[in-house]
A and B are shown apart, each in its own frame.
Chain A
Amino acid sequence: MKKRGLNLPEERTFKGPALVWKRFLAFLTDFLIINLVLFFPFKRLIQSSMPEFGSFSETYAYLISNQSYTQALTVVSLAMSIFALFYFALLEYKIQQTPGKMLLKISVIGEKKEVRFWQYLVRSLFIIPIFPFFLLWVLDPLFLFLTKTNQRLSEILSKTKTVEEYIIR
């Protein structure tokens, strides 16, 4: 008997907005890597310079009273956020993905074919904890849930989007 192959239609793929839970999980994974690898030397610096206190109120009182330490802490946190920003921007620029996104099989693409480095920087500006960027902590999730394309405000501004591949059979 002659075997006949099934004449199924070819698989077709298209890129659509990545699911929010995947994006969230990818971000958490990336943040874990950043925390473990990039923030490690800075955390060591803070721990070595920060005296040990028994309570939060004591730590708070110390920070309030010690202006130079607070300023130093601001410099350190700014440096940390810049490293986090470059983690996202560089990886997305080079391979359109971060380890978190690779694990969750989502990627970043531009609205136009060519995406410049500044666009990747702009889409991750929410990481910088200074005005006006920290406003994005509220605005970004709002836009993510309210827009049809599930784009964060910084994604709209940078003309990029986070997508995943969908298969149509």
Chain B
Amino acid sequence: MEKQKSKWHTAIKLILILAIISFVVSWIISFFIGTDIIDGNVAIIPISGVIMSEKTRSFGQSIASAPSIVGFIEEADRNPKIKAVIFEINSPGGTPVGSEEIVSAIKKLNKTSVAYIKDIGASGAYWVASATDYIFASRMSITGSVGVIGSYMEFSGLLKDYNVTYQRLVAGKYKDIGSPFKELTYDEERILQKQIDLMQEYFLDDVLKNRNLPKERIEEVKTAKIFSGIEAKEAGLIDEFGGKEEAIKFIEDRLNITAETSEFAEKTSLLDVLSEIMNEKSFFVGKGIGSSMLEPRSSNRIEVWT
């Protein structure tokens, strides 16, 4: 009997110890998993930096990877808790294919989408914004630039100066079209220009459809000029002035919900942070050395920052 009593005592003691440890462990786990859990009802997807069609890294330049962004859009679409998506745009644009991939994913999204342009949302980034239901931008944001650029440096003159010859060996008349080592012929220029015009036509056509712009605005937008936020509002390129708060308010009013935001962004590991620091440091060290070699001692350049 006494032995049985002692066994119960031991059992209760052990269970209590395990219970305390389980409390502590669950508390520790909550710290680690808390940040990963998507608990809000409004997804925020940042599009920051140059839009690329691949997951690439770049020295000192932030990249908006189209596959990652598309993945986040699809994830938000599948998630029944997410009722709307806000695109936080701060990008000068990027590759046509990367931009189109994001645009296409937004069009497939079955949820309310809003974009707000921070400092810049131009070219491909504006195309992305135009695919959303509503666009906010600051009065001082830079947007527009609905055009395509294919310019490149040509070194044929430089090669000539240094007595270097470009030995042209091609099968197919236009195989080396756009080679920086030879002068562009009239025919080649026409071909490249036609391609670029076609791309702009497609881009422009989609933006016009997305924004339902009046015909009188088409010519202005077609010039690929940049628009300040104020001009963009007049031209119908954006809907309202505002930022994140206004975008959230818009969603709350439209969907009659209390918005809780969740950011959908790439998780950065410690290794990523360290390599980024190393990259940036190396970039600026190189830049510093280069500048000290090239720049005159007393510079009369005027730099404007705002």
Q: Which residues of A contact B (CB under 8 A)?
A: 33, 37-42, 44-45, 49, 51, 53, 58, 61-62, 64-69, 71-72, 75-76, 79, 83, 86-87, 90-91, 94-95, 97-99, 102
Residue contacts A-B, CB under 8 angstroms, 9 given? A41-B26, A65-B77, A66-B37, A66-B38, A68-B33, A72-B29, A79-B26, A90-B18, A95-B7
Known interface pairs A65-B77, A65-B78; 14 further A-B residue pairs with C-beta atoms within 8 A, sorted by A's residue number: A33-B15, A41-B25, A44-B26, A49-B39, A62-B81, A66-B75, A68-B36, A72-B33, A75-B29, A75-B33, A83-B22, A94-B14, A99-B8, A102-B4
Check B34 for interface membership: any CB of A closer than 8 A. Answer: yes
Question: Given the complex, which residues of B lie within 8 Å of A38, measured CB to CB?
Answer: 15, 18-19, 22
For the complex, give the distance between the alpha carbons of A99 and B267 in Å.
45
Encoded as 1 (CB less than 8 Å from any A CB) or 0, chain B from 48 to 59 comes to 000000000000
Q: Please, which residue of chain A has its CB at the minimum distance from the CB of B26?
A: A41
Question: Given the complex, which residues of B lie within 8 Å of A67, measured CB to CB?
Answer: 75
The total of chain B residues at the interface (CB under 8 A) is 32
For the complex, give the distance between the alpha carbons of A84 and B23 in Å.
14
Question: Given the complex, which residues of B lie within 8 Å of A102, measured CB to CB?
Answer: 4, 7-8, 11
Which residues of B in the span 122-163 have a Cβ within 8 Å of any Cβ on A? none
Give the 10 A-B CB pairs with smallest separation, nearest first.
A65-B78, A72-B33, A68-B36, A41-B26, A65-B79, A95-B7, A58-B80, A41-B23, A51-B81, A49-B37
Query: What is the distance, in angstroms, from B109's C-beta to the closest C-beta of chain A?
Result: 13
Question: Given the complex, which residues of A lie within 8 Å of B10, measured CB to CB?
Answer: 94-95
For the complex, give the distance between the alpha carbons of A18 and B4 in Å.
19
Question: Given the complex, which residues of A lie within 8 Å of B76, measured CB to CB?
Answer: 65
Contact yes or no, A79 B19, CB < 8 A: no
Contact yes or no, A90 B14, CB < 8 A: yes
Contact yes or no, A98 B11, CB < 8 A: yes
For the complex, give the distance between the alpha carbons of A41 and B29 in Å.
11
Question: Given the complex, which residues of A lie within 8 Å of B11, measured CB to CB?
Answer: 91, 95, 97-99, 102
Q: Please, which residue of chain A has its CB at the minimum distance from the CB of B21?
A: A83
Q: A61-B80, A75-B29, A75-B33 are in contact. Are A37 and B7 (CB under 8 A)?
A: no
Contact yes or no, B80 A87, CB < 8 A: no
Q: A53-B80, A66-B75, A99-B11 are in contact. Are A45 and B39 (CB under 8 A)?
A: no
Question: Given the complex, which residues of A lie within 8 Å of B4, measured CB to CB?
Answer: 102
Check B305 for interface membership: any CB of A closer than 8 A. Answer: no
Check B27 for interface membership: any CB of A closer than 8 A. Answer: yes
Contact yes or no, B15 A37, CB < 8 A: yes
Contact yes or no, B33 A83, CB < 8 A: no
Q: Please, which residue of chain B has its CB at the minimum distance from the CB of A83?
A: B22
Query: What is the distance, in angstroms, from B90's C-beta to the closest C-beta of chain A?
Result: 24
Question: Given the complex, which residues of A lie within 8 Å of B77, measured CB to CB?
Answer: 65
